[in-house]
Amino acid sequence: MTVILQRCGIERTFETIMSVYESQALDPHVNRERFRQEWFE
């Protein structure tokens, strides 16, 4: 990740690292219907 940040001209700090981790931690399937939805109601 350090190399990517350097290539983009972004300084590697604790805040930038945490920002990247936080943005990647979001659930990409938030609006996805569950398989067998009736089992979970």
Q: What is the pLDDT of residue 37?
A: 62
DSSP character at residue 11: -
pLDDT in tens, 6-31: 898 888 889 988 888 888 777 777 77
| Residue 4 predicted with pLDDT over 70 | yes
Per-residue pLDDT, 25? 77
pLDDT computed for residue 29 by the predictor: 73
What three-state secondary structure class fits 26? coil
pLDDT (tens digit, 9 = 90+) per residue, 25-40? Answer: 777 777 777 776 666 6
**pLDDT, position 27:** 74
Domain ranges for the chain, please list them: 1-40
User: Is residue 9 left, alpha or beta, with left meaning phi > 0 and alpha meaning psi from -120 to 50?
Assistant: left
In angstroms, the Cα distances linking 9 to 5, 20, 23, 36 are 6, 15, 19, 46
